[in-house]
Structure 1
Amino acid sequence: MTLLIHPHSPLPLRRFWPPSFRPSSCNTFATIRSSLPFLPDKARFYGELEAAVDVVERACRLCVDVKKSLLSNDDRILEKNDQTPVTIADFGVQALISLELSKAFPSIPLVAEEDSGFLRSNSGLQTIDDYDGNYLVNSVLTAVADKTTGSDDPLTAGVVLEAIDRGGKNSVSFDAQPATYWVLDPIDGTRGFLKGSDALYVVGLALVVKGEIVLGVMGCPNWKIGIPSPGIEDKRTVDPETGIIMIAHAGCGTWTRRLFDSMDSILRMQGGWQQCFVDTYSMVHEARFCIPDSQTWELMPLSQLFSSTVDDTEDRDKNTVLLLPTYCGSLCKYLTVASGRASVFILRARTQTIIKVWDHAVGAICIQEAGGKVTDWTGSDLDLAADQAERRIIYPSGGVLVTNGRLHNKILEMVSNFSVV
């Protein structure tokens, strides 16, 4: 396996770093003749990560294809009981990934967001096989069939619905012991999915082995590849292509490449990966913050010490922080911090909000392998086994804090006395 070093990358890493810091490796671009950016003997779960990358990329293609049809077919958009928009793409992605992972790794269960109960009840199905002429189920079936790798068993509506349920609530029962399972968010930021090409959404998949997150893959079809970070003087033309895939493996770093590369598959396997890192800001007032789109800065404990602005062109004093435009979904914020485009993502837990594991698992390993840190507001690691029976809910004390690492203890100290209501 040959390691090639290119002196000039089309996507220089230096655009991810603040002006005051330029790592010595920022002008190099390592390319390895492999489908992943590191050697198999360096990654214990290399095969699992290869499979995850492949299926997440196909799932993102499914999203793009479905979204094109949504532009002229508003009746394909449904509302779940919690008022979160859900589309054929959500069900299609979960079915596709469930089908492919169960073929490759039949002994590893799946914990995912959706189940077929909503689809069945809103489709008027009397039985699993009663789908002739049924618009919703046929649409999901068509979307999935085009992206599967094939099987000896025919792909029917029943097979697709069962695949969705494989990751749904009550699909698997855990005990208090550390467990091994996949965690999937079929589309994190569905409102972003529905808004248009400028809004971000993420397909997120992680593998937990004996209670520890060992790998993660995030696909973001709308990520603008060439947009420089706020405050960085590099104002080169924005790359017209969009979409990245981000991967992380324990001990191997966090990496990205274009999601839908124009190169053929053989050339793409020879490279395209770039290692990414969190930014290096160490002063809170210099940091770039993300908060949930459903919360305001005034709800955050730091608002007692800092005001906020969304204007990155104005000079800020030491009492004002930059608040980046909100993206739908938590994983979009994790991706933004892991890539160095934001410094902090802070989420406040509220009594009426249930925090789901799939909104955080894949993001956590991408942050950690990029040099950042993820904890609750007391500094404790997120407890993936807090929901001992199903591994679907986490209970972070105070909320979730995601940072570049350098700012973590400072912000923890600031929020430590904040009471959650």
Structure 2
Amino acid sequence: MNLLHSPFSTVRFPHRLRPATPRRRFFLVRSSLPFPNQNAKYHRELEAAVDAVERACRLCVDVKRSLFSSEGRILEKNDSTPVTVADFGVQALVSLELSKLFPTIPLVAEEDSGFLRSNNLVDSVVSVVTDEVSSGDKRLTNADVLEAIDRGGKNDVVYGGRPATYWILDPIDGTKGFLKGSDALYVVGLALVVEGEIVLGVMGCPNWDEAVSFTSTTDSRGVESMVPKSGIIMVAHAGCGTWARSLSDVVNGSANMPDGWTRCYVDGCGLVPEARFCIPDSQTWDLIPLSELFNATNDPNSVGEKKVLLLSGCCGSLCKYLMVASGRATVFVLRARNERIIKAWDHAVGIICVREAGGKVTDWKGDQIDLAADQVERRIIFPSGGVIVSNGKLHNQIVEMISSSFSTA
């Protein structure tokens, strides 16, 4: 289905969302981290990030129920990418939650309020954010929500040069997946950058289910670990590993908060023909230099010496990072294209989750991704050739293969 020409694209969006099921206001008890606080320098920031992403995932689930219960819930931005009230609602919500505890830390994020103002959607966003904002707050106004959104927008936020510490948020990575229904993945991604280094990250994927279940095959103890299927929240902190647990109780408002964190590891594949690959949904295998060496197939039974497995079924770059960090995929390769700008929020949180799970992320030359390349706003990255995300074991081989093929192209 072509989302840009779907019947939803031109339908008028009502001022307020009215979900199919009655809304309930949940008061979240901040969940504990999977490692001792003394091991994590930024444990307060990580706790706040987990709390904010959990609330954001609930917001997404509520909006999605409304989206598919009646007509008129989807619009297009000026750049022709589909967007919903959920994108703006998540950005406003996360901005509001983080600014309470860390008012001096700026936010770099995707949206600004101009689109809402011009399309008379402010009331809709205020409605969904009010249902998820922390208890005890004064009643939110339109001005509160617009200001919160614009803390992360490039038009109204001034960072004063080179910020040492900042949050970076992708409200919904994989918006097309959000619109497709329950089968396609989407991610709320939040990271903290300090002195150019990503120190923590949180990814929430409300519809991670059995179809994309994952196991760890690299545990040194030889123990195979399973993560619950009904939604996932993944966290990473520098030096503390990558961890995940079920998101189902959180998004459904249960008082039984899950406390069973599972350590995540990349897979242990050591042979390129046996690797499981991901590429962007907007690109095809023939655009990747590896296509000169291997054909690709979606059929695991057809994999051979010259044919590798290409996974499908998820949208957005952060979904692919999640797949690699969880051991579901081995390699994610993205090709930088001249007509497309690569945004920092599509990669930041995924980078630390993969690294702390034992993997590696570089550009096609093998160099680290430079989050400070955009020296003022920190919104754009410029990876040479593209981005390679891997389990680490295969990384140098993939870089060499791509470099060799790309240099002769």
Same fold (TM over 0.5): yes
Confirm whether residue 189 of structure 1 aligns to residue 186 of structure 2. Answer: no
SS at match of 1:63: helix
Q: In 2, distance between residues paired with 1:171 and 1:259?
A: 34
1:291/1:326 contact within 8 Å kept: no
The one of 343, 347, 366 equivalent to 1:379 is 366
SS at match of 1:162: helix
The one of 389, 400, 403 equivalent to 2:376 is 389
CA-to-aligned-CA distance 1:64-107 (integer Å, 9 cap, x gap):
00011111333221101111111010010000000111111000
1:53 aligned partner: 50
1:186/1:203 contact within 8 Å kept: yes
Confirm whether residue 41 of structure 1 aligns to residue 38 of structure 2. Answer: yes
Q: In 2, distance between residues paired with 1:97 and 1:151?
A: 16
1:268 aligned partner: 257
1:293 aligned partner: 281
**1:210 Cα offset (Å):** 1.3
* Identity value in percent: 68
2:95 aligned partner: 98
CA-to-aligned-CA distance 1:315-341 (integer Å, 9 cap, x gap):
422111000014210000000000000
Cα gap change, 1:302 to 1:41, in 2 (>3 Å): same
CA RMSD in angstroms, aligned pairs only: 2.3
1:42/1:252 contact within 8 Å kept: yes
Q: In 2, distance between residues paired with 1:76 and 1:58?
A: 21
SS at match of 1:261: helix
Confirm whether residue 278 of structure 1 aligns to residue 256 of structure 2. Answer: no
2:213/2:229 contact within 8 Å kept: no
The one of 383, 388, 402 equivalent to 1:415 is 402
For 1:338, the aligned partner's letter is A
**1:174 Cα offset (Å):** 4.1
The one of 165, 169, 175 equivalent to 2:150 is 165
**5 Å matches for 1:3-14?**
none
Cα gap change, 1:73 to 1:116, in 2 (>3 Å): farther
1:225/1:239 contact within 8 Å kept: no
1:304 aligned partner: 292
2:78 aligned partner: 81
1:406 aligned partner: 393
Cα gap change, 1:159 to 1:239, in 2 (>3 Å): same
Cα gap change, 1:222 to 1:154, in 2 (>3 Å): same
The one of 107, 112, 125 equivalent to 1:110 is 107
1:64 aligned partner: 61
CA-to-aligned-CA distance 1:142-191 (integer Å, 9 cap, x gap):
10001011455431111111111111013434466462100000000001
Q: In 1, distance between residues paired with 2:146 and 2:253?
A: 33
Tell me the TM-score normalised to structure 2 length: 0.86
| Greater relative contact order structure (CA < 8 Å, 6+ sep) | 1
SS at match of 1:68: helix
Cα gap change, 1:241 to 1:289, in 2 (>3 Å): closer
1:255 aligned partner: 243
For structure 1, list consecutive stretches of 5 or more residues without a partner in the other structure: 1-33, 124-135, 233-237
2:126 aligned partner: 141
2:162/2:376 contact within 8 Å kept: no
2:279/2:333 contact within 8 Å kept: yes
**5 Å matches for 1:332-347?**
332-347=319-334
Cα gap change, 1:229 to 1:244, in 2 (>3 Å): closer
Q: In 2, distance between residues paired with 1:59 and 1:362?
A: 16
1:174/1:391 contact within 8 Å kept: no
Confirm whether residue 122 of structure 1 aligns to residue 158 of structure 2. Answer: no
Q: In 1, distance between residues paired with 2:228 and 2:400?
A: 42
SS at match of 2:143: helix
Cα gap change, 1:77 to 1:118, in 2 (>3 Å): same
SS at match of 2:366: coil
CA-to-aligned-CA distance 1:88-129 (integer Å, 9 cap, x gap):
100100000001111110000000000000111112xxxxxx
Q: In 1, distance between residues paired with 2:86 and 2:183?
A: 18
- The count of corresponding residues between Structure 1 and Structure 2 is 369
Q: In 2, distance between residues paired with 1:108 and 1:366?
A: 21
The one of 352, 360, 367 equivalent to 2:347 is 360
Cα gap change, 1:241 to 1:303, in 2 (>3 Å): closer
